[in-house]
Chain A
Amino acid sequence: MKTLKEMITEARQVVPEESPEQVQRRIKSREPLAVIDVRDPDEYRDGHIEGSTNISRGFLEFRVAGAVADPTTPVVLYCQTGLRSVLAAKVLKELGYQNVINLGGGYQKWAQSGLPTVRDMPLTADQIQRYSRHFLLNQVGEKGQRRLLRSKVLLIGAGGLGSATAFYLAAAGVGTLGVMDGDVVDITNLQRQILHTTADIGKPKVESATRTLKALNPDVNIIPLATRITVDNVMDIIKDYDLIVDGSDNFETRYLMNDACYLAGKTNIHGSIFQFEGMATVFAPNEGPCYRCLYPTPPPPGLVPS
């Protein structure tokens, strides 16, 4: 009969181990990676690595395929100290996962190294009902919903584009929405800017936006920013957000947002419309092109980029 010590030694021979810092680098590189916490759910709730999936050791063989579809995807396993997870990792290798890594020292060492951890806030009964349709989607689930509730998105403009974006992001439960617009509601806005109503004419757009969005979903923290985005305030404002959605109506702002987001390393969800045409793309710093790769300088007046 094998002793536990022998089993662990055996597992260590086939499973490479990485330090918390090495695993953190993998997570930050945003390359394909699955991080699985094999501890029990109560341990996971008390604190875990952000983005990790909790599959208790006992359920690992049954549920791993749901979490990691591609057997070539690197999988990092961790438990509290790195022992349960090394045994679990050996099983994954036997199942055919080619690139399984054990987090040496486990969650304990991760937390002691001062690396970021997250703790699940219990969802309220209302939240469980409100987002129940999200829970049915494999790619979202309760974990995704918690992440949305923790997320902070800045909307540049509460006009035509921003109205639709804000409505849906608030409905979906994105926890913090910064709404930036220096304009007041004009009657000519109302045929397309659905955040605002006839009674709002003459009032700041961020005021009506806040009221409408709060009424839709009181969970969402709306931060009204009743000013134009400028070269002087942009860096200070965007630093607090995970993501920027540019729904601005002029080239000056688009170039400013493009440059500021790139320099700050923030992803910028770009959209624009002209008459009956619209376009959308995502500028992710260093992952894809930026607005200046498309248009190094502003296009001549009237030209519709396509």
Chain B
Amino acid sequence: MLPGVVGTIQATEAVKVLLGIGEPLVGRLLTYDALGMRFREVKLRRDPNCPLCGTSPTIKDLSIHMTGGAACEATPAGHAG
């Protein structure tokens, strides 16, 4: 059931962005705790040192993702789709 909640939020956000209506979750991380049945919101800021979208980016193409790149050394058993 949990993925249904999050997937439906994603669908809602998609429609909002497509139609240019409301306030999409840009710069906000919405978290959902199913056991406590709580939603929380964390403000997100752009990181000026971000290697991708910061002021002096080091990632300018996808070469970091070529075999064995540093983009993701580990694929931990974390969040599932």
Interface centre among A258, A292, A299 (most CB of B within 10 A): A292
Chain A interface residue number, banded: 35 or more
Say how far A157's CB is from chain B's closest CB, in angstroms.
5
Contact with B along A247-275 (1 / 0, CB 8 A): 11111100110111011000101111110
A139-B22, A163-B7, A302-B76 known; A243-B44 Cβ under 8 A: no
Whether B17 contacts A164 by the Cβ 8 Å rule is no
Let me know if A296 is at the binding interface, CB within 8 A.
Answer: yes
Task: Say whether B46 contacts A289, CB under 8 Å.
Answer: yes
> Which chain A residues numbered 169 to 189 have a C-beta less than 8 Å away from chain B?
169, 172, 174
Q: Which stretch, A14-22, A73-81, A279-287, touches the partner chain B?
A: A279-287
In the bound complex, what is the Cα–Cα distance between A296 and B59 (angstroms)?
A: 11
What sequence of 0s and 1s flags, for each residue 31-57 of chain B, a beta carbon within 8 Å of any chain A beta carbon? Answer: 111110000101011110011111000
Are B4 and A194 in contact, CB atoms less than 8 angstroms apart? yes
Cβ–Cβ < 8 Å partners of A161 in chain B? 3, 6-7, 10, 81
Residue A104 CB within 8 A of the other chain: no
For A231, list chain B residues within 8 Å (CB): 62, 65-66
Looking across the interface, which residue of chain B has its beta carbon closest to that of A301? B76
Apart from A259-B71, A271-B7, A293-B50, 6 more pairs, CB < 8 Å? A153-B18, A193-B3, A252-B75, A278-B2, A279-B79, A299-B76
Q: Which residues of A contact B34 (CB under 8 A)?
A: 276-278
Contact of A296 (CB < 8 Å), options: B4, B21, B30, B51: B51
Q: Are A282 and B75 in contact (CB under 8 A)?
A: no
| A256–B27 CB distance below 8 A | no
Q: Are A281 and B5 within 8 A (Cβ)?
A: no
Neighbouring B residues of A247 by C-beta, 8 Å: 7, 10, 81
Are A148 and B18 in contact (CB-based, < 8 A)? yes
Q: Are A242 and B18 touching (Cβ within 8 A)?
A: yes
Chain B interface: which size bin? 35 or more
Binding site for B on A (CB under 8 A): 30, 51, 139-140, 144, 147-148, 151, 153, 157, 159-165, 167-169, 172, 174, 192-194, 231, 234-235, 242-243, 245, 247-252, 255-256, 258-260, 262-263, 267, 269-274, 276-290, 292-294, 296-306
Could you show 21 A-B contacts with beta carbons less than 8 Å apart?
A159-B80, A161-B3, A162-B81, A165-B14, A168-B11, A242-B18, A249-B80, A251-B74, A272-B6, A274-B80, A276-B33, A277-B33, A279-B6, A281-B28, A282-B25, A283-B26, A284-B17, A288-B46, A289-B46, A289-B47, A298-B76
The number of inter-chain residue pairs (CB within 8 angstroms) is 248
Q: Is the CB of B65 within 8 A of A273?
A: no
Residues on B with C-beta less than 8 A from A151 are: 18
Q: List the B side residues contacting A164 at CB < 8 Å.
A: 3-8, 10-11
Query: Do residues A292 and B52 form an inter-chain contact, with CB atoms below 8 A?
Result: yes
B16 to chain A, nearest CB (A): 9
Which residue on B lies nearest to A244, using beta carbons? B14
